[in-house]
Structure 1
Amino acid sequence: MHSSFHAVVARRSGAVRAAAVSLLSGLLAAGAATGAAAATADSAALATPQWNAGGATAVADDLRAFGTAVIHGTDGDRQVPAGLFELSVDGGGTLQTYGVDIQRATQPGVVYQESDWYGTSLAGNREAGRIVWVLRHSYPQVDDLSQLAERAGVKGLTEQDAAAGTQVAVWRLSDGADVTAADPQAERLADYLVKNARPEKEPRASLRFDPPAAAGRPGTRIGPVTVRTGADDVTVLPPADTSPAWITDAEGHAVETVDDGDGLYVDIPLDADNGAATLTVEATTTVPVGRALTSDSRSQTQVVAASSETTVRATATTVWRRDGAVPALWGRERCEPSDSGRVSGLDVTLLNRGDEDFTYRVAGTDYTLAPGERRTVSQPLTEDEAYSVGVEAAPGERRSLRPVVFSGVLDCLTESAASAVRTQTVPEPRPMPSTPSVTGEDLATTGGGGGTGLAASIGAGLVVVGAAVLSVVRQHRREAHQE
């Protein structure tokens, strides 16, 4: 391990990778309905993707260029490496990033997922927009070091000085840290960047769906799920050959490519059995500067400073039922500013696209949704503590659902901010008795914690189907739509 990584955290890479494969590949058979009330009913379909099921996935390599920073604290000064990380993107290409949690650990091999600020410490940071300015006006976006040195009013900058000064500036804004660069030139660059930084907007995702799930009836076009991207060309990948789904636009025309803002629908034949399908889109693009990257191991959150062209994907799920309620749901962590008076937590969005009421039980509380209703249920969570939020059909429902568990460790604050609020009491979600609690690994000795929202969402990001999917020869479907 390179000495630049000043602490070590563990990760459950095997479990997360397996869950991600399940999310992207599509279908998992649900268990049989149980109980007298469900004796004549089949098990309803349930879609549970994560909101950010899209964009770049990358593995941390090492610091590419770095110097030394000095953290000034009540217990004295501490030297840490400060510089530019490099990550290898799944599908090829690289990302260069800076960290936004000075006290949090990281190590090579950690898997990162592109994320909105919504579920990170940047959501509650009023300086987050200024961090984007710093990234766009410093190294490596400005790779002419003589030009950068002239702007900052210093005699000269090495690559190491530029990286260290930029990281120090980011930490001052992300953590409010009392930190300086050991090298005088790097320190002057950091001062220049912080002094001149102006707020900029959060960059949009490289590729994702909004929302990431839809539900409806066979014989209809289910959707839309809207593509959000900065890419010029986005390719729609066909569903599995065994799926009856046909991806179309609002008029029912087959779709092979889409642009930002386009809505996709899933056309299901009238005689299809109950089922579900995964929509996948793919693009070759760069990841915008300022996008967040989070890990499943509470490793230091990263922000993108530069990106090569790479292949990114996004997925959405669709569910259909022939009669009754048509439930689907998704979840995402929500981070609030620590001084806002609001509580961070997990938002679970529930859908019912059928013609009967459907009652979900979320963390022990029942929520009845009328036909066509959509509702978001917020579960308050405690920072840095493992949670387990279960979702199932309420007792007495005509159809049963295989229970779903969103689990992980909330990571909404930088480590320094979390330390300042640990004594506050926050209501905890009630665990679902019928579902075993899932907790993170105990990493107290290494300065890390259990899984974050990535593990929570991907770990539950499975499509559950209660009936066999009707197999239709894809060539016949293609010919029918071309006529």
Structure 2
Amino acid sequence: MFSAVHGPTARKRGALRLATVTAVSGLVAVGAIATAGSAVADGKPAASSSGAHATLEDAHVKVGATVDIVDSHGVKSSPVGGLFELKVDNAGVIQTYCIDLNHHTVENSTYKEVTWAESSLAGKAEAAGKINWILQHSYPSVVPDKLGAGLTKETAAAATQAAIWTLSDGVTAMPEDAAAAKLTKQLLKDATAAKEPKASLAFDKDAVSGLAGGEVGPLTLHTNATKAALALAPGAPAGVQLTDKSGKVITSATDGTEVYFKVPAGTPDGAVKVTASAQTKVPVGRAFISDGKIKSQTFILASTSDVPVNAVATAKWGTAPAVTVKNDCAKGGLDIAVSNKGSKPFEVVVLGKKLGKVPAGDTKSLFLPLAEDTTYAFDLAGQHFSGVLDCKTAGSGTPTPAASTPASKPSPASAGGSSTGTNGNGGTNLAETGSSSSTPMIAGAAVALVVLGGGAVFFLRKKKTAGQ
């Protein structure tokens, strides 16, 4: 895992820069880890890619102010809390708040839209619902003038972030500004649980399987768009077509449509991808997690605009099972659903662990426990899966300490802002550290060293700023 935090300093103009690279040894020991985030391995069908995808080009808070925090360990800090901006692929920006206080923000990290169950909100239904309510009734959904006297967009954003952190991370968070503190208290008092928003665009499974000569499927499409275009990937075998449940050939679909693949008899065993695409507003309240290329803080959507979204899934015919893999944050691992349409049992082995057998003609969900922050990459039944298990927050009891902070006294990570707090031992809070934009290059070098048997590699550079 490669982590760093990047943020401006409120009371100091200089910046401390820190780049820390650590090798994750658990999966390396079994030879299973690879550079995460690859869409395809050796030409094999990749796991589903759903919804909006975006990049955190600048890890600073764009709109915010100082928030005083006391975590469950009694550690105090004062990061800048507020809105981040994510650049959506081939589109504009969306704004988000942090729901993962203790983890680093990493410049140029990439994000994907997921369900609450796949994020740090898993198992926190009431808190997640209240956060969603707060997003609908605070800044930027509501202008500062309507939220209270004396508020600016910066202090309104800080007030909203403080209320969200209180619920998402189990900390005591309050803005330094008096008007903002009043708003935070009011939001927490009034919040009621709102339902989880629907996906902007997603298939219900990563893959489906069947036999040539019939219809393979179905995949169920979920979207808030009026309609999504459907297309088979180039190179699909002759005669393979997309149909609805009545057998009618389709090139588009609406929410709830069941999509099938018509595969002519005699077609050699194979697979093909289908892509759904649309232009829509991603619903406020959707979670965004780093896609595993670079580990970074988890966000929740606060404002949106029309952006391109897509979903990709795979159809397979022949003896190879169809596999769907999702983060199960409630249990702390991966949920691996296997549909075996073949004539023989299929033994599921992931990262060197035998999880069980799926009988012929049967479907089973198997569970692979993983440690928090584990980066995973593996192939199963001809499909490739990669990502990172990012489920816990500072309030979970397993906080991630800053590199300069003793492990016994962890400090919450910056929301991309500044901190004036101390860790109780005279050390610098995590919110006072920063990373350079060269983090991905350093991470790549570290992976190469691990592969060569170099073991754990640590690189640390501190540069004092003027006047410090």
TM-score, normalising length: structure 2: 0.74
Q: Distance in 1 between matches of 2:160 and 2:133?
A: 11
More moved, 361-370 vs 168-177: 361-370
Tell me whether 1:355 sits opposite 2:343 in the alignment: yes
- Output one character per residue of 1:391-415: Cα deviation in whole Å (capped at 9) or x when no partner: 66xxxxxxxx66x775654321103
SS in 2 for 1:284: strand
Tell me whether 1:165 sits opposite 2:159 in the alignment: yes
- Superposed displacement of residue 326, structure 1: 3.6
Tell me whether 1:186 sits opposite 2:175 in the alignment: no
- Output one character per residue of 1:239-259: Cα deviation in whole Å (capped at 9) or x when no partner: 314433211112222112111
Tell me whether 1:271 sits opposite 2:266 in the alignment: yes
Aligned partners of 2:118 and 2:327 also within 8 Å = yes
Equivalences for residues 471-482 of structure 1 within 5 A: none
1:250 is aligned, of 240, 245, 248, to: 245
Percent identity, aligned pairs only, is 33
Aligned residue identity for 2:209: A
Equivalences for residues 179-218 of structure 1 within 5 A: 179-218=173-212
Aligned residue identity for 1:77: K
1:283 is aligned, of 278, 281, 294, to: 278
- Output one character per residue of 1:60-83: Cα deviation in whole Å (capped at 9) or x when no partner: 134221111112356663221111
Aligned residue identity for 2:195: K
Q: Distance in 2 between matches of 1:269 and 1:237?
A: 18
SS in 1 for 2:184: helix
Q: Structure 1's 357 and 105: CA in aligned 2 closer, same or farther, altered over 3 A? A: closer
Gaps of 5+ in 2: 1-5, 10-14, 24-33, 402-406, 408-450, 462-468
- What does residue 223 of structure 2 align with? 229
1:54 is aligned, of 37, 42, 50, to: 50
- Superposed displacement of residue 105, structure 1: 1.5
- Output one character per residue of 1:364-418: Cα deviation in whole Å (capped at 9) or x when no partner: 3263323321101111222235567x666xxxxxxxx66x775654321103424
Aligned partners of 2:233 and 2:274 also within 8 Å = yes
SS in 1 for 2:256: coil
Q: Structure 1's 444 and 97: CA in aligned 2 closer, same or farther, altered over 3 A? A: farther
- What does residue 428 of structure 1 align with? none
- What does residue 78 of structure 2 align with? 79
1:410 is aligned, of 385, 389, 393, to: 389
Q: Distance in 2 between matches of 1:439 and 1:251?
A: 57
Aligned partners of 1:128 and 1:173 also within 8 Å = yes
Aligned partners of 1:165 and 1:181 also within 8 Å = yes
- Superposed displacement of residue 219, structure 1: 1.6
Aligned residue identity for 1:352: N
- What does residue 138 of structure 1 align with? 138
Aligned length: 384
Aligned residue identity for 1:198: T
Tell me whether 1:302 sits opposite 2:296 in the alignment: no
Q: Distance in 2 between matches of 1:294 and 1:316?
A: 20
Q: Structure 1's 208 and 179: CA in aligned 2 closer, same or farther, altered over 3 A? A: same
Aligned partners of 2:46 and 2:385 also within 8 Å = no
Aligned partners of 2:207 and 2:323 also within 8 Å = yes
1:328 is aligned, of 317, 322, 327, to: 322
Q: Distance in 2 between matches of 1:174 and 1:8?
A: 27
2:316 is aligned, of 308, 314, 319, to: 319
SS in 1 for 2:398: helix
- What does residue 115 of structure 2 align with? 116
Q: Structure 1's 276 and 108: CA in aligned 2 closer, same or farther, altered over 3 A? A: same
- Output one character per residue of 1:67-124: Cα deviation in whole Å (capped at 9) or x when no partner: 1111235666322111111111013122110001222211331111101111211012
- What does residue 175 of structure 1 align with? 169
Aligned partners of 2:111 and 2:288 also within 8 Å = yes
Q: Say which structure is richer in helix.
A: 1
Aligned residue identity for 2:241: W
Tell me whether 1:3 sits opposite 2:2 in the alignment: no
Aligned partners of 1:381 and 1:387 also within 8 Å = no
Q: Structure 1's 405 and 218: CA in aligned 2 closer, same or farther, altered over 3 A? A: closer
- What does residue 287 of structure 2 align with? 292
Aligned partners of 1:386 and 1:440 also within 8 Å = no
Q: Distance in 1 between matches of 2:226 and 2:218?
A: 21
More moved, 156-165 vs 404-413: 404-413
Aligned residue identity for 1:371: A
TM-score, normalising length: structure 1: 0.72
Aligned residue identity for 2:140: P
Deviating above 4 A after TM superposition, structure 1's stretches of 4 or more consecutive aligned residues are: 4-12, 14-17, 73-76, 385-388, 404-409, 420-423, 436-446
Q: Distance in 1 between matches of 2:358 and 2:186?
A: 54
More moved, 180-189 vs 233-242: 233-242
Q: Distance in 1 between matches of 2:244 and 2:457?
A: 48
Give the CA RMSD over aligned residues: 3.3
SS in 2 for 1:163: helix
- Superposed displacement of residue 349, structure 1: 1.1
Aligned partners of 2:279 and 2:309 also within 8 Å = yes
- What does residue 465 of structure 2 align with? none
Aligned residue identity for 1:201: K
SS in 1 for 2:396: helix
Q: Distance in 1 between matches of 2:16 and 2:256?
A: 42
